[in-house]
């Protein structure tokens, strides 16, 4: 039998929205650290203008020597989420970490967007997070441990329709954390300090906007390392917190890790993280 090593060795981790973008990057990072990664998303095949599928992500993990299970899951459908959780339990018998990464980003402003998109955005970004947490919670309660990572955004602090969903996610994170701390289930949110180039980020912006912000984009490395560190926590070390990747590196990373990642990221990464630190954010 192969000996599994790594900081997350043997942990069963579900990531929704893991067919591409930051979800895929985190899935690969978790796989490299020895976790059994459940790659959950709707995308059995690449979508129009958006490359990637659950099968591709799972294959990348396996090709690198990791363990992965691709499971089709539509987070806008409560029954699909429940079926995914049941599949994971049949395969692995436990669920240690849930990362609710799947999102829908609608075009337009809150005053001009299609009302159907408003509904869909909340269905995916808020209700999907809630139902995913509820689907894994009984298992985590039976285990006496668990770690839930919700994904927020800088938009949570800004006026926008997308920000409204992320504000709701942060509030939901607080509520679950307060209720589950006594059950040793950690519930925290994380977000990037600054923009990271992903297919979704590129697809959501016109060419001129992409060019104007290109110098502010960072590679995904610091975000993935932060996701690994946060997945290692329990309710005794961190719960009910809203972190940036820089926050996590400062709090849980090895000495010098923040400085190392600051060198590879765009200048705005370290500048904004210092600004957040000074303001208490």
> Would you please indicate which residues are annotated as catalytic (active-site) residues?
162
Question: Is 256 in contact with 264 (CB distance < 8 Å)?
Answer: no
Helix (H) or strand (E) holding 12: strand 12-16
**Among candidate residues 120, 118, 119, the one with its CA nearest the CA of residue 74:** 120
Q: Facing residues of 151 across strands? A: 190
Q: What is the largest CA-CA distance in the chain?
A: 58
Query: Could you count the other beta carbons within 10 Å of the beta carbon of residue 45?
Result: 11
Going across the sheet that includes 242-244, the strands are: 67-72, 36-41, 12-16, 97-100, 146-151, 185-191, 242-244
């Amino acid at each position: 039998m192969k000996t599994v090593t790594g900081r997350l060795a043997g942990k069963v981790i579900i990531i929704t929205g893991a067919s591409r973008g930051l979800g895929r990057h985190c899935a690969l990072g978790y796989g490299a650290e020895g976790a059994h990664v459940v790659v959950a998303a709707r995308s059995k095949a690449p979508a129009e203008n958006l490359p990637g599928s659950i099968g591709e992500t799972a294959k990348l993990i396996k090709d690198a020597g990791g363990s992965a299970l691709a499971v089709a899951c539509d987070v806008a459908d409560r029954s699909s989420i429940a079926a995914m959780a049941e599949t994971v339990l049949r395969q692995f018998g436990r669920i240690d970490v849930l990362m609710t990464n799947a999102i829908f980003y609608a075009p337009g402003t809150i005053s001009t967007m299609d009302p159907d998109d408003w509904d869909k955005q909340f269905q995916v970004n808020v209700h999907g997070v809630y139902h995913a947490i509820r689907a894994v919670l009984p298992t985590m309660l039976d285990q006496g441990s668990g770690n839930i990572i919700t994904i927020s955004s800088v938009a949570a602090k800004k006026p926008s329709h997308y920000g409204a969903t992320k504000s709701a996610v942060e509030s939901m994170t607080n509520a679950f954390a307060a209720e589950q701390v006594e059950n040793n289930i950690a519930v925290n949110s994380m977000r990037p300090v600054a923009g990271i180039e992903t297919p979704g980020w590129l697809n959501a912006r016109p060419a001129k906007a992409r060019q104007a912000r290109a110098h502010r984009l960072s590679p995904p490395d610091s975000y993935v390392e932060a996701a690994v560190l946060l997945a290692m926590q329990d309710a005794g070390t961190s719960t009910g917190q809203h972190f940036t990747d820089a926050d996590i590196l400062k709090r849980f990373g090895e000495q010098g890790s923040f400085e190392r990642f600051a060198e590879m990221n765009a200048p705005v990464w370290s500048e904004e993280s210092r600004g957040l630190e000074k303001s208490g954010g």
